[in-house]
Amino acid sequence: MILKFLDLNKQTKNIKKKIINSIKKNIDSSSFIGGKDLDKFEEEFKIYLKVNFCLGVANGTDALEIAIKALGLKKKSEIIVPSNSWISTAEAVINNNCKLKFVDVDDTHNICINDLKKKISKKTEAIIVVHLYGNPANMKEILKLKKKYNLKIIEDCAQAHGAEINMKKISTFGDIGTFSFFPSKNLGCYGDGGCIVTNNKKYYNLMKKIANHGGLKKNSHLIQGRNSRLDNIQAGILRIKLKELDKWIKYRKYQAQIYYDCLSNIDQISFVKKMKNTESSNHLMVIRTPSRDKLRSYLKRNGIYTGIHYPYALPQAKVFKNKHLSYCKNMNSIKFSKQIISLPIGEHLNISQIKHICYKIKKFFNA
């Protein structure tokens, strides 16, 4: 039996007809850039999140870059980023000519509030909070720090569509929220896609201009902009998938609970800690174990495919040329990167398959 880490074919099976009809409709009406599906998706995602404004863009990295630009920070302003995330979170800061500062993560694998308190300086202007693996970060404490130091907050929600804190959707706590619709995300399209959400009209209007060559109308280029669009075909696909999202998250939650129930009493395994009063979107099922590499090879030999998110912490990325290592060398994120393994989760796996994975893991640990 081969159990893949990800298999989108199975996710698509029940909605394939609707998706093909939607693509056909947009081809027949030549609605490719802009169009009804884009307008409707932005409206529907706004309603889903309970947020005032939503702007479709080309991908989650653009979403971050445009969001930072809209904050209107001075050149070389310092922006804090958690030391464990996908590269885009840090890349977006340097692509905006801002100064990057890494803060460690704690056992939630999200930004560590204690380290954050130590690292905030007079130069800090903004924090990008990542809700990694779909688990909400500690927004309560982050919002206290925002107020105290007058900081801007961007929420990177690329892995956390539908996640909640106290029944309020993440992306609506800070100044601006960003999403990726990369195909493997809980809400993914069939190519690249992303969006930016905010309750602030000024930011929305500015971001709309930035993403559209600096203006809102054709041949109007009022500010320095770029081209970053969510196309109408992708928006049509996302509209169909958005209707399934809560059901998919519920199923992932069930799968995650089975992993927890079966594996949490194994001494050599640690689970990622979740904050109270939060609902994870369970995008990734990450555990830690000192025997990560051996476990991974054993599972592969048994037809079970896993991932690592991520194999090294961001300060270790070659692009930063060791610039951050002096203050990051003892970080949890570096230790965790050698121990984390992402187990398969998602609609492509039935419950007996999840139990089979647990059985194999237990066997590996003689548990």
Ligand X SMILES: Cc1ncc(COP(=O)(O)O)c(C=O)c1O
Chain residues binding ligand X by CB under 6 A are: 59-61, 85-86, 88-89, 130, 156, 158-159, 180, 182, 192, 194
CA distance 191 to 21: 17
Of the pair 59, 269, the CB lying nearest ligand X is at: 59
Q: Which residue, chain included where needed, has tokens 């009209």?
A: 201
Of the pair 194, 346, the CB lying nearest ligand X is at: 194
State the minimum distance, in angstroms, from the CB of residue 159 to ligand X: 5
State the minimum distance, in angstroms, from the CB of residue 180 to ligand X: 3
State the minimum distance, in angstroms, from the CB of residue 200 to ligand X: 21
Of the pair 62, 279, the CB lying nearest ligand X is at: 62
Residue 203 and residue 176 in contact, taking contact as beta carbons nearer than 8 Å: yes
Of the pair 228, 361, the CB lying nearest ligand X is at: 228
Neighbours of 76 (CB within 10 A): 10
Of the pair 80, 354, the CB lying nearest ligand X is at: 80
State the minimum distance, in angstroms, from the CB of residue 134 to ligand X: 10
DSSP characters for 312-333? S-GGG-GGGTTTTHHHHTT-HH
State the minimum distance, in angstroms, from the CB of residue 44 to ligand X: 19
Please give the torsion angle defined by the CA atoms of residues 145, 148, 150 and 155, in that order, rounded to the nearest 10 degrees.
20
Q: Which two tokens stand for residue 70?
A: 């809209």
Of the pair 171, 180, the CB lying nearest ligand X is at: 180
Residue of closest CB approach to ligand X: 60
Residue 87 and residue 60 in contact, taking contact as beta carbons nearer than 8 Å: no
Q: Which two tokens stand for residue 111?
A: 């930004």
State the minimum distance, in angstroms, from the CB of residue 108 to ligand X: 15
Alpha helices of 29-94 — where are they, by DSSP H? Answer: 36-49, 60-70, 88-94
322: region left, alpha or beta (phi > 0 left; psi from -120 to 50 alpha): left
